[in-house]
């Protein structure tokens, strides 16, 4: 199958079940919102070594936020609600409470599970913190040097899907990277999904396992152009560069829609092939077949 001159490889992306929370962050203006979002979502590209996978779901207008200020909805993915509770509390305390003017709200009040946030962070107030209940939801007001840090006591958690992916292959560096960037940018404000890697793109795709004992993942050698001839390759004969985009979402439908959108956006001159990474169906139960998405 081809879209224009780009071959769509007959394969599938393999994704797996995770848990997610939606964190709403607001701030005085776009400058401080951006500072808060960047800090909170740093070092959050892959649960292989990070405590969570995080990205901006979309930016919110002043009419959409709880306090009428500029804001952003961030999706945070992890393997368990307990793990999310630790990761979000640590990141909120270090990256959001410290950032001027921010406030933090639960973006998933109907979540299947609840994890503590302000319930833990309130102790930083050293006894001067105050509790406030509005419309059945509890908030904590923690005194800080520019006034108070407002944070919701608990966050909702629901079941999500992680690991949707596409692998763009190009004749040239510019073609491959351009395709990956178009794919990531096409999802920048799509509700329900995030692309957690830097700029939405992963240059170091991985496979499960390693020759080194105890290493859970290692380089996807089948897609490394410098290893062509040394290992069985999955690269198109004319491809010299490859990039991956990884997509996490709130459900199977959201990930599938995002993959279809990104797939079409990535097609272009000298993008010789678009494929996906899988492990023969052994890693996750969600299989997204490219020929069905195209």
Phi/psi of residue 67, nearest 5 degrees:
-115, 10
Please name the residues in contact with 108: beta carbons below 8 A apart, sequence gap of 6 or more.
Answer: 20, 21, 22, 155, 156, 157, 158
pTM comes to 0.95
Q: Pick from 121, 142, 158: which residue ends a domain?
A: 158
- N-terminal to C-terminal alpha carbon distance within the chain: 9
Our count of domains for the chain comes to: 2
Residue where a domain terminates, one of 113, 141, 158: 158
**Same structural domain, 57 and 177:** no
- Are residue 31 and residue 55 in the same domain, yes or no? yes
| Burial of 244 from C-beta contacts in 10 A (0-12 / 13-18 / 19+) | buried
| pLDDT over threshold 90, residue 60 | yes
Among candidate residues 128, 158, 188, the one where a domain is terminated: 158
Domain, as residue range, for 43: 18-158
Q: Look at 33-42, 175-184, 205-214 and tell me which has the smallest mean pLDDT.
A: 205-214
pLDDT at 27: 98
* 281 pLDDT more than 90: no
Q: Are residues 208 and 258 in the same domain?
A: yes
User: 138 forms bridges with which residues in the sheet?
Assistant: 133
66-104 per-position pLDDT tens digit = 999 999 999 999 999 999 999 999 999 999 999 999 999
State pLDDT tens for residues 95-148: 999 999 999 999 999 999 999 999 999 999 999 999 999 988 999 999 999 999
**Do residues 223 and 211 share a domain?**
yes
Burial of 285 (0-12, 13-18, 19+ CB in 10 A): exposed
Is 67 found in the same domain as 124? Answer: yes
pLDDT at 283: 82
Q: Are residues 286 and 214 in the same domain?
A: yes
Burial class of residue 161 (count of CB atoms within 10 Å of its CB; 0-12, 13-18, 19+): buried
Q: What percent of the chain has pLDDT over 70?
A: 100
Same-domain status, 152 and 245: no
Axis-axis angle for helices 252-266, 173-185 (nearest 10): 140
Is residue 36's pLDDT more than 90? yes
Could you tell me the two tokens for 136? 């059945």
Q: Are residues 33 and 102 in the same domain?
A: yes
Q: Are residues 96 and 51 in the same domain?
A: yes
Same domain, 240 and 257: yes
Give me the chain's average pLDDT, please.
97
> Looking at the structure, do residues 194 and 289 belong to the same domain, yes or no?
yes
Where is 143: in which H helix or E strand? strand 137-144
């Amino acid at each position: 199958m081809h879209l224009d001159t780009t071959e769509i490889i007959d394969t599938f992306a393999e994704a797996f079940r995770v848990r997610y929370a939606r964190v709403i962050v607001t701030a005085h203006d776009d400058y401080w919102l951006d500072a808060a979002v960047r800090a909170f979502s740093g070092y959050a590209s892959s649960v292989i070594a990070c405590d969570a996978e995080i990205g901006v779901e979309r930016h919110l207008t002043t009419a959409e936020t709880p306090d009428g200020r500029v804001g952003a909805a961030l999706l945070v993915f992890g393997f368990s609600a307990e793990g999310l509770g630790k990761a979000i509390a640590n990141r909120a305390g270090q990256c959001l409470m410290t950032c001027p003017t921010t406030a933090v709200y639960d973006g998933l009040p109907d979540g299947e599970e609840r994890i503590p946030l302000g319930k833990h962070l309130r102790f930083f107030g050293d006894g001067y913190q105050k509790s406030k209940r509005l419309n059945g939801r509890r908030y904590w007001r923690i005194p800080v040097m520019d006034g108070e840090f407002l944070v919701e006591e608990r966050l909702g958690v629901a079941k999500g899907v992680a690991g949707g992916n596409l692998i763009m292959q190009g004749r040239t560096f510019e073609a491959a990277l351009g395709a990956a960037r178009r794919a990531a940018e096409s999802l920048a404000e799509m509700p329900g999904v995030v692309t957690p890697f830097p700029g939405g793109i992963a240059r170091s795709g991985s496979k499960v396992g390693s020759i080194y004992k105890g290493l859970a993942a290692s380089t996807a050698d089948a897609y490394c152009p410098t290893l062509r001839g040394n290992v069985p390759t999955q690269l198109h004969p004319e491809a010299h560069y490859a990039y991956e985009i990884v997509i996490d979402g709130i459900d199977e439908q959201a990930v599938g829609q995002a993959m279809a959108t990104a797939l079409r956006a990535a097609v272009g001159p000298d993008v010789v092939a678009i494929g996906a990474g899988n492990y023969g169906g052994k890693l996750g139960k969600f299989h997204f077949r490219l020929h069905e998405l195209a």
